């Protein structure tokens, strides 16, 4: 009997020092910090109990380090795919919202209020990032029909991709969040429908915190 759906686990990488400081990372190759490595370990433990056939990952180190324990839980090797690299923020990378607002004025604040209608240095536009991510997603959806696929990527790119895949409108981007190592589950049905099953599932982190409190 044909499997009626292809399941995608869309996963944001673990924490970095720039995440903690509220700095735009984009394509700058920042490593996971100690907390991020622990988050990745907990994510890998969780995936021991989830079906998984293949793991794709952004080539940036913070995503690769997150993908490795996930893949290892099923004896897999992560496959790097540039479609899922973070949005390139160019000269904005390394700066906080406050710093960018002060340095660039409306060039940044207009973008912050309405990111889909204003240019971004590096990538050029969110539409460019969306097109890149959706192209990669569609390739995998065709290649891995009926399988369980993990994509370890970045919060900005994954949210932009979901806006396009689900035709949700850009308000979805501004009103959602993806915690480090959270799982967003998207099913592609055999008739092509895309169903958002979970968003920002971080149960592995929440359970670990509860265990700490119970010690």
Average pLDDT over residues 82-100: 98
Confidence (pLDDT) at 1 = 41
Beta-ladder partners of 186? 8, 196
Band (3; pLDDT cuts 50, 70, 90): low
CB atoms within 10 A of CB 123: 23
pLDDT at 43 over 80: yes
Q: Helix 126-143 to helix 155-166 angle, to the nearest 10 degrees? A: 70
Confidence (pLDDT) at 2 = 52
Q: Which CATH number fits the domain that encloses residue 185?
A: 3.40.50.1240
Q: Helix 106-113 to helix 97-104 angle, to the nearest 10 degrees? A: 130
* Cβ contact 164:134 at 8 Å: yes
Summarize pLDDT for 190-201 with one digit per residue, the tens: 999 999 999 999
Summarize pLDDT for 107-121 with one digit per residue, the tens: 999 999 999 999 999
Confidence (pLDDT) at 209 = 86
Summarize pLDDT for 120-147 with one digit per residue, the tens: 999 999 999 999 999 999 999 999 999 9
Confidence (pLDDT) at 35 = 98
What is the extent of the structural domain holding 94?
5-214
How many structural domains is the chain composed of?
1
Tokens of 129: 């990032």
pLDDT at 188 over 70: yes
């Amino acid at each position: 009997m044909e499997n009626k759906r292809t399941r995608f686990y869309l996963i944001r990488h673990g924490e970095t020092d720039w995440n903690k400081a509220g700095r735009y990372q984009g394509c700058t190759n920042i490593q996971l910090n100690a907390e991020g490595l622990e988050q990745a370990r907990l994510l890998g433990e969780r995936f021991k109990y989830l079906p998984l056939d293949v793991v794709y990952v952004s080539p940036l180190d913070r995503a690769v380090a997150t993908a490795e324990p996930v893949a290892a839980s099923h004896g897999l090797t992560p496959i790097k795919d540039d479609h899922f690299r973070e949005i390139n923020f160019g000269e904005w990378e390394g700066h906080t919202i406050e710093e960018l607002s002060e340095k660039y004025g409306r060039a940044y604040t207009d973008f912050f209020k309405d990111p889909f209608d204003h240019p971004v240095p590096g990538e050029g536009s969110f539409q460019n990032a969306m097109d890149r991510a959706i192209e990669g997603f569609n390739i995998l959806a065709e290649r891995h029909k009926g399988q369980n696929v993990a994509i370890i990527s970045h919060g900005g790119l994954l949210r932009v991709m979901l806006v396009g895949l689900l035709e949700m409108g850009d308000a979805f981007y501004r009103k959602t969040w993806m915690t480090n190592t959270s799982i967003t589950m998207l099913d592609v049905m055999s008739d092509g429908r895309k169903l958002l099953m979970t968003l920002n599932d971080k149960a592995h982190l929440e359970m670990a915190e509860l265990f700490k409190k119970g010690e």
